[in-house]
Chains A and B, each alone.
Chain A
Amino acid sequence: MVLWIVLAILTAGVAAILILPFARSARAVPAEHAGEIAVYRDQLKELERDQGLGLIDAQQADYARAEIGRRLLAAADADAEGETSKPSRYGFTTVFVTLLLPATGLCLYLMLGSPNLPAQPLEARLANPGNNIALLVAKAERHLAQNPSDGAGWDLLAPIYYRSMRLGDAELAYRNAIRLMGASPARLAGLGETLVAASDGVVTEDARVSFEEALRLQPDTPNARFYIALALEQSGKRDEARTAFEALAKDSPADAPWMELVSEHIARNGGTVPPPTSSAPAGPTQEEMRAAQQMSESDRRDMIRGMVESLAAKMQEDPNNLEGWLQLTRSYAVLGDREKAEAALKSGLKQFPGSGELVALAQQMGIAVEGVSQ
């Protein structure tokens, strides 16, 4: 409402100024050529000055004087014969001016403007972030930029970064958390997962060391065990991998969310698969739980979902990003939203039909892809 009052005042003020000339009593019309005559008089004076200084000789000065004189006379003559205007009425003009301003202003503004949106300076939003996850993250980032030795902050941000696939930031955050708060199985395993994701699913040497360190601290960390087994599989040691996967399956509760994936890998490495359990959505991993200790479960899920949605929106705008599609698909899979994961995968394949990585991911998720034989 305040906005409309301000806009109305602005419009009225402008209109008032613009009709001012029509409200004044008629002024004397100045001689139309007065300015011209002044210029020529000045040229004559300048000529005299130049001649006085000896910058121009007498003969040239005379020529020039005659020429300027002719122009001066012509201008003065023109003034004498020019007619002056009669006083006229400005009813129509005044109405035109007063109506055009609000009409044009309102029509275009209603078409283009967003009158209900307040200004949102970042500082003010950060001071009162509410439930906006992106803002909470931004706020935490600013806090960490000023207090880079706050380990708890890094610890909180790291898994959030990982879920939103900001892998470089996630790695940094994990490393800082480990440096400042000491190693914990969750942090080490999280760092390992980040490194694996950063190298497109390959368990690198760095990642493996990290997982082993996690297992040394707490031998039954399931995701660390999973990746160690995966490392064996990737280095071609199928038997050892199968044994490791089978051991993990044995130690895990039957309804553990990672069982499906583990069974898949056992099968892939030539083992026998126990009957698949119900396709329960993949639950939160351990480090997620830890990261969200301060929040309730639903808050945490909302948070992650929010970040994934923002990634999805970004992909809508700029679909030409293979990495993005891979991340989006994985994120949905992690959230257990199989439908959306498939949709993301298909959009990605539409954009990058020949991408081996996407096809591999599709196979990993057991999604049939048109035109791609499984």
Chain B
Amino acid sequence: MIIEIGHYALVLSLAVALIVGVVPVIGARRRDTAMMALAPLGSLVLFGLVGISFAVLTWAYAVSDFSVKNVWENSHSLMPLIYKYSGVWGNHEGSMLLWLLILVFFSALIAVFGRNLPDTLKANVLGVQAWISIAFLLFILLTSNPFLRLDPAPAEGQDLNPILQDLGLAIHPPLLYLGYVGFSVSFSFAVAALIGGRIDAAWARWVRPWTLAAWTFLTAGIAMGSYWAYYELGWGGWWFWDPVENASFMPWLAGTALLHSSLVMEKREALKIWTVLLAIMTFSLSLLGTFLVRSGVLTSVHAFATDPGRGIFILCILAVFIGGAFALFAWRAPMLKAGGLFAPISREGALVLNNLILTVATATVLTGTLYPLVLETLTGEKISVGAPFFNMTFGLLMLPLLIAVPFGPLLAWKRGDFLGALQRLYLVAGLALVAGLAFYYAENGGPVMAVAGLALGFWGMFGALADLWYRANFGKAKFSVAWSRLKGLPRSAFGTALAHFGLGITVLGVVAVTTFETETVVELKQGMTAEAGGYSIIFDGMREAVGPNFTEERGHFTISRGGVTVADVWSSKRLYTARRMPTTEAGIVTFGLSQLYVSLGDPMEGGGIVVRVWWKPFILCIWGGALVMMIGGFVSLSDRRLRVGAPTRRVKAVKAALEAAE
């Protein structure tokens, strides 16, 4: 019975979404408070219903109810409990339900925290959110229903795809979806503003926390996904320019641009139309990403959910929402008033440059991702656009952006002093170059270009610190004065500095790994030694082991430096018995920020085995930087300014409540 209640809750939520999608929007046109009041209420009910539905599916996984087809297809009674839970979204149907849950979760958040929004804007925003919910509810119910049953029920499930049986999978999709779907809020705000025909600085203030939250989660999700691919797939790479990776990277690039342009809009009421367009584009790219991954047009490591039949449905959703939003934009945007003016050299100017480069970069990635697909559809010719293309185009585009990053925060609004900023950054540039050179000598090798790359990383890091330094007026004012000024800086300033600092760390990691990485492929027999990164890796032999739902052959390696044993590591090849599917579990040892990566290949005749050993210097900087960016996002989110703007009636209501309580 429980399963059917979950199914019915999902069906009923479609009805609720239909109501929330229609009544409040009409109410907003008529300025009818009762009809508009349905929006937050309905959104909370919607969240409740989808929540019930998701909880029921999770329960079915936890108790291994194989009468649910989805559970039978993707679970196994002997699987560890954590993977039973993560298995809920480790498959197409479940992950779409998670997508929907997060969508209605954001709607519920708007309903709860959006008290400061004008009623009409809120009703329209929640209405648009409900439209998206309707589309995805229909998609789930009609093409990807996780509640279909099997009768009679099988006794054992078919197990979860082994490469997904990993802690990384438990965290990666929810984070990624929080990011992807979070941008739906920016989209809904943009569409609502276009419907309402009014958009101003306050709008930017209201939409910014949502964009920031989505961006922060997406940053975390992408970093997590990259790290997961790094240690689970056993190829030793951390970014493959795989279409699925690009699918999550494009909304991130566009979202980063949106974050910066909404800043300009909030402060100066400039770039209004552009910001609205970016908000639409960012979510469109999220939808496109969902389409690319879910429709099965791609075959890649994420191919666990491919079904071409569903592609048409998502394509229709894509056409309706993206096409509709752009049509609305084309119709209403000319009616929006243009905002404040600014000189080319100013904070606004720097942010426009940022937007320009990020948008072009997004377009580049989009081209590189879609071109092979289009070509294959039209001519049947298969080509692959790989790392060389992206490194040439994307890498080149990032260069001026990274150089410009430290300038932005140092320039004044409206009219900036470029020479002044340059003077202040002389020291930073010098320091960055020295640090780059020092790093280069320490690592002892690699092309000369690396120095420039390393310096670029340090440039971003030091530039972020310099921003805080000069804002607090250290060096000029007395220390205590500067310190109190530093403490008085708004949280968002620290958020900015942290995010830019994190970007610098990531650049550093990328350059260091690309330049100084070593790869050794050797055939090892027991007792033989390989060398990498100054460490000796001694192969101690293979051993068989049995896990809960897999068997594995593990190789043991002892790692020593200068004759002293410093670590030991297992690297294994697993066979998941239910699916007869092999996976590679790389052995990874961390030394400071660098890692030694040992992966087993095929056994050779005569008892040897092919072993790949990578030395990955400073690789943790790549994800560490993303982590710092994420922390920057949260710090900025905690800025009190993002929470104000509530109409006075609420303050009065609170006061009245307090008085009543006393």
Binding site for B on A (CB under 8 A): 2-3, 6-7, 10-11, 14, 17-18, 20-22, 24, 26-27, 29-40, 42-43, 46, 49, 53-55, 60, 63-64, 67, 71, 74-75, 82-85, 88, 90, 93, 96-97, 100-101, 103-105, 108-109, 112-115, 117-123, 125, 132, 134-135, 137-138, 145, 310
Could you name 15 residue pairs across A and B whose Cβ atoms are closer than 8 Å?
A: A6-B5, A26-B33, A32-B120, A34-B649, A36-B200, A55-B488, A71-B202, A71-B269, A83-B31, A85-B33, A104-B18, A109-B8, A117-B151, A119-B1, A122-B155
Query: What's the Cα separation between A113 and B1 when bound, in Å?
Result: 11
Given contacts A117-B67, A119-B1, contact A42 B641 (CB under 8 A): yes
Shortest beta-carbon distance, B242 to chain A, in Å? 27
Contact B473 A18 (CB under 8 A): no
Contact A32 B118 (CB under 8 A): yes
Chain B residues within 8 Å of A90, by CB: 34-35
Chain A residues within 8 Å of B42, by CB: 18
Contact A67 B340 (CB under 8 A): yes
Question: Which of A22, A114, A117 lies in contact with B34, CB distance below 8 A?
Answer: A22
Number of interface residues of B (CB under 8 A): 77
Contact B118 A35 (CB under 8 A): yes
B592 at the interface (CB under 8 A from A): no
Contact B14 A6 (CB under 8 A): no
Q: Which residue of B lies closest to A29 (CB)?
A: B33
Shortest beta-carbon distance, A13 to chain B, in Å? 9
Query: What's the Cα separation between A26 and B78 when bound, in Å?
Result: 58
Question: Which of B77, B154, B648 lies in contact with A38, CB distance below 8 A?
Answer: B648
Contact A14 B12 (CB under 8 A): yes
Shortest beta-carbon distance, B447 to chain A, in Å? 43
Contact B16 A113 (CB under 8 A): no
Query: What's the Cα separation between A109 and B7 when bound, in Å?
Result: 8
Shortest beta-carbon distance, A123 to chain B, in Å? 7
Binding site for A on B (CB under 8 A): 1-5, 7-9, 11-12, 14-16, 18-19, 23, 30-35, 37-38, 41-42, 45, 49, 60, 63-67, 77-78, 116-120, 141, 145, 147-149, 151-156, 200-202, 205-206, 268-269, 340, 412-414, 471, 473, 484-485, 488-490, 641, 644-649
Given contacts A119-B2, A119-B3, contact A18 B118 (CB under 8 A): no
Q: Which residue of B lies closest to A46 (CB)?
A: B641
Q: Which residue of A lies closest to B205 (CB)?
A: A39
Question: Which of B41, B148, B489 lies in contact with A55, CB distance below 8 A?
Answer: B489
Query: What's the Cα separation between A14 and B15 when bound, in Å?
Result: 10
User: Known pairs A10-B5, A96-B23, A120-B67. 6 more at Cβ < 8 A?
Assistant: A35-B118, A38-B116, A39-B645, A60-B414, A85-B31, A112-B145
Query: What's the Cα separation between A353 and B37 when bound, in Å?
Result: 67
For the residues of A in contact with B, the DSSP-based class is helix
Scoring A14, A67, A134 by chain B CB atoms within 10 A of each residue's CB, the highest score goes to A14
Question: Which of B1, B32, B117, B148 lies in contact with A118, CB distance below 8 A?
Answer: B1
For the residues of B in contact with A, the DSSP-based class is helix
Chain B residues within 8 Å of A145, by CB: 78
Q: Which residue of B lies closest to A121 (CB)?
A: B63
Chain A residues within 8 Å of B156, by CB: 134, 138
Contact B155 A134 (CB under 8 A): yes
Given contacts A55-B489, A100-B15, A122-B65, contact A67 B268 (CB under 8 A): yes
Chain B residues within 8 Å of A74, by CB: 200
Q: Which residue of B lies closest to A101 (CB)?
A: B15
Contact B65 A14 (CB under 8 A): no
Query: What's the Cα separation between A334 and B18 when bound, in Å?
Result: 58
Question: Which of A14, A27, A34, A46 lies in contact with B648, CB distance below 8 A?
Answer: A34
Query: What's the Cα separation between A97 and B16 when bound, in Å?
Result: 8
Shortest beta-carbon distance, B492 to chain A, in Å? 11
Chain B residues within 8 Å of A22, by CB: 34-35
Question: Which of B16, B33, B269 lies in contact with A101, CB distance below 8 A?
Answer: B16
Contact B4 A10 (CB under 8 A): no
Contact B5 A60 (CB under 8 A): no
Q: Which residue of B lies closest to A2 (CB)?
A: B1
Given contacts A63-B414, A119-B2, A134-B154, contact A105 B64 (CB under 8 A): no
Chain A residues within 8 Å of B205, by CB: 39
Chain B residues within 8 Å of A37, by CB: 647
Q: Which residue of B lies closest to A85 (CB)?
A: B31
Shortest beta-carbon distance, A281 to chain B, in Å? 27
Task: Report, nearest first, the 8 A-B pairs whose CB atoms are least far apart.
Answer: A34-B647, A121-B63, A134-B155, A104-B15, A122-B64, A39-B645, A21-B37, A36-B202
Contact B35 A93 (CB under 8 A): yes
Contact B14 A33 (CB under 8 A): no
Contact A122 B12 (CB under 8 A): no
Query: What's the Cα separation between A103 and B33 when bound, in Å?
Result: 26
Scoring B4, B153, B413 by chain A CB atoms within 10 A of each residue's CB, the highest score goes to B4
Question: Which of A17, A39, A109 lies in contact with B41, CB distance below 8 A?
Answer: A17
Query: What's the Cα separation between A20 and B50 when bound, in Å?
Result: 21
Q: Which residue of B lies closest to A24 (CB)?
A: B34
Contact B32 A46 (CB under 8 A): no
Given contacts A21-B35, A60-B412, A120-B65, contact A49 B488 (CB under 8 A): yes
Question: Which of A10, A34, A75, A119 lies in contact with B12, CB distance below 8 A?
Answer: A10
Given contacts A21-B37, A93-B35, contact A10 B9 (CB under 8 A): yes
Contact B30 A7 (CB under 8 A): no
Chain A residues within 8 Å of B31, by CB: 29, 32, 82-85
Shortest beta-carbon distance, A304 to chain B, in Å? 16
Contact A54 B485 (CB under 8 A): yes
Shortest beta-carbon distance, B204 to chain A, in Å? 9
Shortest beta-carbon distance, A91 to chain B, in Å? 12
Q: Which residue of A lies closest to B42 (CB)?
A: A18
Shortest beta-carbon distance, B290 to chain A, in Å? 22
Contact B645 A35 (CB under 8 A): yes
Chain A residues within 8 Å of B152, by CB: 132
Chain A residues within 8 Å of B78, by CB: 145
Contact B145 A53 (CB under 8 A): no
